[in-house]
Structure formats: structure tokens, C-alpha cells
Amino acid sequence: MNNKPLIVMWGSPFSGKTIATVKLAQALAARRKNVLVIFSDALCPSVASIVPQQVSEQQSLGELLSLPALAQEDLLRYSLALKGSPHLAFLGYKKGDHLFSYADYSRERAVDLLTLARHTADVVLVDCASYVSAYLLSTVALELADTVFRFHTCDLKSMMFYASYLPLLSDARFKHAETIPILSNVKPGQDSRTYSQVVGGIRFLLPHVAELEQQALEARLMDSLPSGKDATAYQEGISHMMGLIVSEDTQKPHQRSVSAANKASIVRWFKGQLWSWRGGRK
């Protein structure tokens, strides 16, 4: 089994991490990569507000983390295969969960979960809580990640967040110097140039898109973005992110004549795996 990329989205509160996670996952899935998205924030469970129509099918990440033992079959059972998005599965806390809903889990359990996830999907995306130290899974994801996208917004609140938080992540295990800073939700009139200079190392930004705000408000983040200047610029930002985590080959828009191996959707793949683990019994 090969370790597949573990990508972490982290940064200041309300900076667009969850929205960008969904859009990046969709872009990867459109290239027929099987993507498992782990929403590690228990403060505001996200899955129910992204795919409200599947809320009754969802099982909780919290429950999975506190099982007595963890096997790949459990990971598959708790992951929500998305209807209409055959290469995408979500794993996160359920609507109504809170920090005390489940028993505590150990660091080893968080490592096991992420390791199993990397053996399961082509790409694992972890949408982290800003307040990482409150969530062990977020902390461990930051340590194990191949790529960390670090979200900043062009405002003083984001600067204050980093002034407080960066010292906590200065430990070598977080490889902070390798994280990729992004200016996110950049609004017209905001001085992104000055903020870029202050933050340093900004290679691209994700602009504010009115329709995206509307999608988030109306629990429609799985909808595609209509064309338009801002939406196009946002998609370019997402493509840039994708280019940093997958090979050139995957960047090519998918064609119908793909290889047989690539045709397997994550749903069929999940079912196939489960079937083989049950000894061939349906």
C-alpha cells in the first residue's frame, strides 16, 4: 500500500478554509482522483451544511476516533460517499456533536486514522480547526502533512491570530517554513499587496466571490461556480493549489476514454473493499 498525499488546510478563523477545501476536493475529483475529505473541527460540524440532503446517512468522525480499535473497514464505513460526486467521500463530525460527545482519543489513534486514510484514497484533504491545539487530529494532521495551505485574510484579525498562533507552531515537527501561505477571501478595496508583503511568500490568492458566499449561506457549496471574473480567478487559485499537490498528468481535464483502473468511482471502490473484507459475502 502506498502513502497518498495528505493535504492540510489551516489558518485564521473564518478565512475560507472549508470553502476552499470543498472546491479543491471537487477539482481533484473532476480529475478522477478518489478524494477523502476529513473535517476535523468539532466546534461547528461542517458536513451537514455542505451536503444537508445526506445528513441522515452521516456517521460521526468523533465516534470513529473513539472506537476500541480502528481498521480500514471502519474508516470506509464511517466515510460518507457523496451522491452525484462519485470520487468524493466526507468524514466529519455530525450535526449536534460537541467536544464532549465522545470519549477522548489518543495521539496514536489520530496517527492511525490519517495513515489508514492515506492508504484508502488517492488524496486526503484535512480541513483543520484554526484552534488546532483544541483538536488532536488537527495537530497531528499538521505534523504529518505533505502540504499545508496556510490561510490568511487581509485584515487585522488575521494578523492578530498569527501573532498569537505562530509561536505555538514554531516546533520543528510542524515544518512551518514549508507551509504555503494564501491570501483568502480578498475583497475589492483590500490592500492585498501590503498584506502579501507583511505575510511574505504569498504566491497566489483566492478572491471574494459573491456567489460563493451565497453558496455557503444556502448550503449549496457542492454546486459549481458560474462563470464570471471573480469566480474564474477563484478557480485559477484552486487550480494553482492542485498543481502543487498532484502531478501534471492529473491536471489535464478528464477525457471519457480513461483507463479501466481510473473508472472505479470511490463509491464502487468502497463497496468493493467492504465486500472483499467480508470474505466475498455481499
Ligand X SMILES: Nc1ncnc2c1ncn2[C@@H]1O[C@H](COP(=O)(O)OP(=O)(O)OP(=O)(O)O)[C@@H](O)[C@H]1O
| Binding residues for Mg ion (CB under 5 A) | 17-18
Q: Under 8 Å CB-to-CB from 11, ≥6 apart: which residues?
A: 17, 130, 149, 150, 151, 152, 158, 182, 184
Specify the residue, 17 or 33, whose C-beta has the smaller distance to Mg ion: 17
- Maximal CA-CA distance, the chain: 61
Q: Which option in Mg ion, ligand X, none does residue 165 bind, with CB closer than 5 to 8 A by kind?
A: none
CB of 249 to Mg ion, least distance (A): 31
Q: How far is 253 from 239, CA to CA, in rounded Å?
A: 11
CB of 21 to Mg ion, least distance (A): 8
Q: Which option in ligand X, Mg ion, none does residue 231 bind, with CB closer than 5 to 8 A by kind?
A: none
Q: Which residue shows C-alpha cell 515537527? A: 173
Specify the residue, 18 or 192, whose C-beta has the smaller distance to Mg ion: 18
Specify the residue, 219 or 274, whose C-beta has the smaller distance to ligand X: 219
Give the number of C-alpha atoms closer than 13 A to the C-alpha of residue 35, restricted to the C-beta side: 27
Specify the residue, 131 or 277, whose C-beta has the smaller distance to ligand X: 131
CB of 97 to ligand X, least distance (A): 15
CB of 125 to Mg ion, least distance (A): 12
Residues near ligand X (CB under 6 A) are 13-19, 41, 44, 130, 184-185, 206, 208-209, 212-213, 216, 234
Q: Which option in ligand X, Mg ion, none does residue 118 bind, with CB closer than 5 to 8 A by kind?
A: none
When CB distances to ligand X are compared, the closest residue is 16
Class of residue 104 by CB neighbours under 10 A (exposed 0-12, middle 13-18, buried 19+) = exposed
Q: Which option in Mg ion, ligand X, none does residue 174 bind, with CB closer than 5 to 8 A by kind?
A: none
Instruction: Please report the sign of the dihedral spanned by the C-alpha atoms of residue 138, residue 140, residue 146, residue 152.
Output: positive
Specify the residue, 99 or 258, whose C-beta has the smaller distance to ligand X: 99
CB of 85 to ligand X, least distance (A): 18
